[in-house]
């Protein structure tokens, strides 16, 4: 039976849906594929052997590129992936996070690739905090271990419906910081910047900077501890992300942080151009594929010229 991958779906999530649609419990599906026990599907997310990809392509009719595309094999952000752990000890990370409202809105509930990143703490769509445990039994997501024909929105340990989990509150300032960091990563990856490694090291040190669970790296903390880190950092100077960087890099990061993400920065840019240059065409919705880095640099140059004469919401940070 064919199961189409959903937008941003993680390979393991699709595998669990594929198994159940074919009348096989996920744990037994590992045997069908000739794979071992335990976290067999999260391991495939990290490394998908070519023969397994070919077998899945043959059995499911889904193109092999689409199957490989669901894995988390991009090297740049891999240090930010939550480590695979079968048992969730208190205050420690689990391998997977979820937004109950996203699951509730899905026709066929599925887990997103972005939920695997330690730098993610909230849902950009619903504005609520992510969860990394079942609220009823406190275990992590264990769909790979499901022995019944039960869809993955039900906890594999206690069958609680994860879509019914209550909303987790995250301060607006922390969500702004999270979105800005996500955008900074995207921009630096798109530019093929050599700074991405250092950027990720800084992100991994966030708990030390915030003084939460000192000595632990970001990927080792539970989602609720990471939310505390982001809430603490959101009210502090941004020097932890910009110090010792090349001027242009530091300035671009400050701009994105001050605007609260590149979407807002583009809107500020559009307003700015309207006011100062009477721009003909709006840049509020850049065409698909617009080079954000080029846009940011143009914005940066334009604001430089106006910096001494006009006040502008995102200019204040550049003055210091």
Q: By C-beta, is 18 or 123 nearer to Zn ion?
A: 123
Q: Are 141 and 95 in contact (CB under 8 A)?
A: yes
Q: Which of 15, 102, 174, 213 binds Zn ion (CB under 5 A)?
A: 102
Residues 6+ apart with CB under 8 A from 146: 16, 25, 26, 27, 152, 156
Nearest residue to 132 (alpha-carbon basis) of 220, 44, 43: 220
Q: Which of 28, 54, 125, 248 binds Zn ion (CB under 5 A)?
A: 125
Q: Are 230 and 172 in contact (CB under 8 A)?
A: no
Q: Which stretch binds Zn ion (CB under 5 A): 6-14, 31-39, 96-104, 275-283?
A: 96-104
To Zn ion, the closest distance from the beta carbon of 123 in angstroms equals 3
> By CB under 5 A, is residue 32 in contact with Zn ion?
no
> By CB under 5 A, is residue 155 in contact with Zn ion?
yes
Q: Which of 33, 136, 295, 317 binds Zn ion (CB under 5 A)?
A: 136
Q: By C-beta, is 165 or 238 nearer to Zn ion?
A: 165
Residues 6+ apart with CB under 8 A from 63: 57
> By CB under 5 A, is residue 99 in contact with Zn ion?
yes
Cα(49)–Cα(116) distance, rounded to whole angstroms? 20
Residues 6+ apart with CB under 8 A from 243: 250
Cα(171)–Cα(122) distance, rounded to whole angstroms? 10
> By CB under 5 A, is residue 123 in contact with Zn ion?
yes
Nearest residue to 81 (alpha-carbon basis) of 205, 225, 202, 200: 200
> By CB under 5 A, is residue 88 in contact with Zn ion?
no
Q: Which of 81, 134, 142, 203 binds Zn ion (CB under 5 A)?
A: 134
Q: By C-beta, is 163 or 312 nearer to Zn ion?
A: 163
> By CB under 5 A, is residue 158 in contact with Zn ion?
yes
> By CB under 5 A, is residue 160 in contact with Zn ion?
yes
To Zn ion, the closest distance from the beta carbon of 139 in angstroms equals 5
Q: Which stretch binds Zn ion (CB under 5 A): 111-119, 152-160, 174-182, 222-230?
A: 152-160
To Zn ion, the closest distance from the beta carbon of 160 in angstroms equals 4
- By the 10 Å C-beta count (0-12 exposed, 13-18 middle, 19+ buried), 89 is classed as exposed
List interacting residues with Zn ion (CB under 5 A): 99, 101-102, 123, 125-126, 134, 136-137, 155, 157-158, 160
């Amino acid at each position: 039976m064919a199961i189409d991958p959903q937008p941003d779906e993680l390979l393991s999530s699709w595998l669990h849906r594929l198994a159940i649609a074919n009348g096989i419990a996920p744990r037994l599906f590992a045997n069908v594929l000739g794979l071992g026990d335990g976290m067999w599907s999260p391991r495939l997310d990290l490394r998908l052997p070519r023969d397994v990809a070919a077998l899945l392509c043959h059995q499911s009719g889904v193109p092999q590129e689409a199957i490989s595309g669901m894995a988390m094999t991009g090297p740049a952000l891999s240090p930010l992936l939550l480590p695979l752990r079968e048992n969730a000890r208190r205050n420690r990370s689990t391998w997977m996070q979820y937004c109950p409202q996203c699951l509730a809105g899905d026709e066929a509930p599925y887990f997103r690739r972005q939920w695997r990143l330690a730098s993610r703490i909230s849902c950009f769509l619903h504005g609520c905090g992510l969860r990394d445990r079942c609220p009823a039994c406190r275990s992590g997501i264990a769909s790979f271990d499901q022995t019944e024909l039960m869809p993955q929105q039900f906890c594999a340990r206690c069958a609680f419906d994860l879509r019914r989990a209550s909303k987790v509150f995250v301060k607006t300032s922390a969500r702004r910081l999270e979105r800005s960091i996500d955008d900074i990563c995207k921009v630096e990856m798109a530019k093929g910047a050599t700074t991405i490694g250092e950027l990720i090291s800084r992100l991994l040190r966030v708990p030390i900077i915030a003084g939460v669970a000192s000595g632990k790296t970001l990927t080792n903390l539970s989602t609720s501890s990471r939310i505390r880190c982001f809430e603490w950092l959101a009210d502090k100077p941004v020097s932890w992300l910009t110090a010792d960087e090349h001027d242009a890099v530091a300035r671009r990061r400050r701009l994105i942080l001050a605007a609260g993400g590149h979407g807002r920065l583009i809107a500020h840019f559009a307003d700015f151009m309207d006011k100062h240059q009477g721009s003909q065409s709006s840049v509020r919705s850049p065409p698909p594929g617009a080079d954000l880095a080029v846009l940011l640099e143009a914005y940066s140059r334009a604001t430089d010229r106006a910096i001494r004469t006009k006040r502008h919401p995102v200019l204040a940070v550049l003055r210091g």
